[in-house]
Chains A and B, each alone.
Chain A
Amino acid sequence: MKAIVTVIGKDKPGIIAKVSAVLADNLVNIEDISQTIMQGNFTMIMQCGLEKAKLKISELKEVLLKVGEQIGVSIHVQHEDIFNAMHKI
């Protein structure tokens, strides 16, 4: 299963390090990553493979929500299918 992790917030050093460390600890594989400034915000989008992950997607969401609170960014974790459904015919 693939998940899309989206990190949005004020840019500062260490965001990628912190988020990717949590993903690595939980055996979540980052398969694609892009970052940019959108609407004045740091925006990072990661496509992640959860095939070998230690956590279910809902649990990973909880963990990353807390990480987001610690570093002051908002983090979303969503099943990739929702984006495919809404934006691809």
Chain B
Amino acid sequence: MLNRKEIIETIDMVEKEHFDVRTITMGISLIPCIRDTAEETAKLCYDRICKKAEKIVKVASELENEYGIPIINKRVSITPASLLTSSFCGKEVVLAKALDRAAKTVGVDFLGGYSALVQKGMTSYEKSFIESIPEALAVTDRMCSSVNVGSSKAGINMDAVRLMGEIIKQTAERTKDRDGFGCAKLVVFCNAVEDNPFMAGAFHGLSEGETVINVGVSGPGVVHHALKSVKGASVDEVAEVIKKTAFKITRAGQLIAKEASKRLNAEFGIVDLSLAPTPVMGDSVAHILEEIGLDCVGGHGTTAALAMLNDAVKKGGVMASGSVGGLSGAFIPVSEDIGMIRAAEKGAITLSKLEAMTCVCSVGIDMVAVPGDTSASTISGMIADESAIGMINNKTTAVRVIPVPGKGVGESVEFGGLLGSAPIMAVSPYGCSEFIARGGRMPAPIHSNKN
């Protein structure tokens, strides 16, 4: 029979430490739905999503019941939509609305993939698509959008970086009645991954199979709890505890992922080893770092502690899953982590420190509210900085900032639910408009030439 302590440990993880499977995301290829007109394409996409993902919510609920592990989100990711809309430029929003309707029909929380990959060049239809994003996000509820503007192999498309600064500003403006909420569903990437199950950046890459299940596990609370048993121990012992805990969490994710793919008649893709926080108490990545010994996240030592945490989670997780992918790193979204919110409120964490932290973890300047009068070129500057970190270090980086219309430093914004709330953080008063106006392409680093 199973060990009694292990059984109780699993039950405690769920009941007291917020252990859950954060998301089951079904990736669906929509390539077969491409037609000449927006209406035809939208209808076929709607039908295909509804057919493929028909049972995702039901199966997730069955698995939750059988295994006793909560499954928080059910999501769908699709082929980057810019590839579906090339023949009907200017009417992309027709597709956006159909995607949103499909998400609501199948009952998923979010649908990701209103995306474009323009890291090297941008076609006219991709430019038209990107320009449709502000309206698309304003008229939909559950659809998420992402744009990849750089990669270690291609360099950084500075024209796209410039454009995305403007798109983020327009998206905030189009959703100003909701404090710029549209921007919470829009992420700009460098080195975007094709099998990411997390939002807002999930899309179903072209190299993926027809229908794929990717699972994101979580458990900041479990790691935090486990670390309470090693107070005062050396850092290598701390790393060891994190590793063992990550192993257990990931094994649960692997089991759920396998079983979900079987029942949904889809391929098992990957388990994403990210530690994803939520705004509730006891589910915070920041609090793990504080348990390791920081007075407050954002102070000196934060980057080092985070680097160790991130690495230990991967080492434990890799052995636990047959296929690891997605973003796989600790997330540091400000509004979605109660510890980060508190640190931002008292000024302990700043955009500069967040940028440093993104060098050693996943994923970037995430869910950060900035003053509404922040210029488009300053936002482009943030995107360029994050992209450079990603490009040079061969990692995924991203920017998801919300320039909250009409609000400034000292005020805060409430998005509700998993998206949480955020104090508005100060940006540098020094601009970079001339740099951003240059456009062009930043060449890929020398170490991208490996052949």
Contacts and interface: CB of A to CB of B under 8 A. Distances in A.
Given A77-B68, A79-B67, A87-B10, 7 more contacts: A32-B1, A58-B66, A61-B65, A78-B66, A81-B67, A85-B252, A87-B6
B234 interface: no
A47 B7 CA distance: 11
B24 interface: no
Interface of B: 1-4, 6-11, 62, 65-69, 248-249, 251-252, 254-255
A34 B1 contact: yes
B248 A86 contact: yes
A85 B251 contact: yes
Contacts of A57: 65-66
Interface of B is mostly: helix
Nearest to A80: B2
Contacts of A8: 8, 11
A82 B68 contact: yes
15 contacts: A4-B2, A6-B11, A32-B1, A38-B8, A43-B4, A45-B7, A47-B2, A78-B67, A79-B68, A81-B67, A82-B252, A83-B10, A85-B254, A87-B2, A87-B6
Contacts of B68: 76-79, 82
Nearest to A44: B4
Nearest to B63: A79
Interface string A25-46: 0000000101010100001010
Contacts of B249: 86
A81 B66 CA distance: 10
B132 to A, nearest CB: 43
Contacts of A87: 2-3, 6, 9-10, 248
Nearest to B14: A76
Contacts of B2: 4, 45, 47, 80, 83-84, 87
Interface of A is mostly: strand
A47 B1 contact: yes
B399 to A, nearest CB: 35
A82 B9 CA distance: 12
Nearest to A43: B8
Contact of B62 (A34, A36, A58, A86): A58
A58 to B, nearest CB: 4
Contacts of A84: 2
A32 B1 CA distance: 7
A83 B7 contact: yes
B66 A79 contact: yes
Contacts of B69: 82
Interface string A45-89: 101000000000110010000000000000011111111111100
B13 to A, nearest CB: 9
Contacts of B66: 57-58, 78-79
A81 B8 contact: no
A85 B8 contact: no
A75 B6 CA distance: 16
Interface string A2-32: 0010101000000000000000000000001
Given A34-B1, A34-B4, A47-B2, A86 B65 contact: no
Nearest to A1: B66
Nearest to B4: A45
A19 B85 CA distance: 59
A81 B3 CA distance: 13
B251 A86 contact: yes
A10 B434 CA distance: 70
Contacts of B10: 78, 82-83, 86-87
A76 B66 CA distance: 10
A37 B238 CA distance: 30
Nearest to A74: B15
A86 B2 CA distance: 11
Contacts of B1: 32, 34, 45, 47
A47 B4 CA distance: 11
